[in-house]
Structure 1
Amino acid sequence: MLFETIDTGSINAEDTPWIPYAPYSDEVLIKYFKIDPVRGETVSLMKVPPGAKLATHHHTGTVIVYTVQGSWKYIEHDWVSRAGGVVYETASTLHTPIVVSEDETVIVFNVVVGELLYLDDQGKVIATENWRTSMNRYLEHCRKSGIVPRDLSSFSQ
């Protein structure tokens, strides 16, 4: 049975590549650790260089963000998340991220459930990001780079 094959797994940072977060940005990079189609969840690191911009987006599910390095915030909030800070985002929220660090790359660890709906200046949905688009990005990057992909959807490695 499937539950008998599920065990504690481990994946190290060097086990997966940094990938451009295209088509949204070629300078923002993402590193996937888990892409779960059952829960609609992705677990990843994101690296955002100083001055990079990310679009306004709406979360359909919850998001947990741990700030590893640098500082960042959402235009819609007064707080700033710095290294060691944790941000918990409730489902059905809208955010516009900005990098506060002027000379330091921001690195965040994300656990995202559900979809991110990217919006234009008028609030119209222009793109959808979810477990499937994440998996496609990962597999396409591996294919183009000659990397043997890991099964990031698996419960045990």
Structure 2
Amino acid sequence: MNALAIQPEIAVAAIPDDERVWVPQAPDVWFRPLLLNTVSGGWCNLLRVRKSGVLSRHRHPMAVVGYVIRGKWFYREHNWVANEGSFVYEPPGEIHTLEVPADCPEMITFFNIQGAMIYLDGDGNQTGYEDVWTKIEMCAKHYETVGLGADYVKQFIR
């Protein structure tokens, strides 16, 4: 294998000093890309939420793992709460509704998502989706808008 073809490692501060690095996803919800893997179709990011209530009802066709850095959250379909320091494994295909409790002013969780994120309504019908390509597009548009330039996202793409 040609050593020049190997993509370099990524070593960045997970929580950035520059607020512009956080990409808005919904009101009071942002993500910070860490790895956008176009080879496997997955991504790693931090999810930051500064509101309480339901974020989304969704499922993943592949496994997801998470680690809570700050705050807490839960899935309505389960009787556990992911508190600061908690590790979470989400099995492929499970439908769950992420909610941040009212007593949590900020939640930040690291997620490693393989495949896609499929958004669902209350009846289980698909209402939207995200994959590594839509995440790259969201990042490029945001970074262009905030003055970092659309190419800023390239440092996270592998």
Give the TM bin, normalised by the shorter chain.
0.7 to 0.9
Identity percentage of aligned residues = 25
User: Is contact 2:28-2:51 (8 Å) kept?
Assistant: no
Seen in structure 2, the aligned counterparts of structure 1 residues 129 and 150 have a Cα distance that, compared at 3 Å, is closer
Structure 1 stretches lacking a partner, 5+ long: none
* Residue aligning to 1:143: 144
**Hey, what's the Cα distance between the residues in 2 that align with 1:66 and 1:6?**
26
CA root-mean-square deviation: 1.8
The TM-score, its normalising length taken from structure 2, stands at 0.87
Three-state SS of the structure 1 residue aligned to 2:56 is: coil
Task: Please tell me the residue identity of whatever aligns with 1:17.
Answer: V
* Residue aligning to 1:30: 31
User: Is contact 2:40-2:114 (8 Å) kept?
Assistant: yes
Seen in structure 2, the aligned counterparts of structure 1 residues 145 and 79 have a Cα distance that, compared at 3 Å, is same
* Residue aligning to 1:118: 119
* Residue aligning to 1:17: 21
The Cα shift of 1:89 comes to: 0.8
Paired positions, count: 151
* Deviation readout 1:29-86 (Å, 9 max, x if unpaired): 1110111111111110111123242121011111111001111110011111100000
Three-state SS of the structure 2 residue aligned to 1:55 is: strand
Three-state SS of the structure 2 residue aligned to 1:121 is: coil
Seen in structure 2, the aligned counterparts of structure 1 residues 36 and 2 have a Cα distance that, compared at 3 Å, is farther
The TM-score, its normalising length taken from structure 1, stands at 0.88
Seen in structure 2, the aligned counterparts of structure 1 residues 52 and 137 have a Cα distance that, compared at 3 Å, is farther
**Hey, what's the Cα distance between the residues in 2 that align with 1:131 and 1:104?**
28
User: Is contact 2:54-2:97 (8 Å) kept?
Assistant: no
Structure 2 stretches lacking a partner, 5+ long: none
Three-state SS of the structure 2 residue aligned to 1:65 is: strand
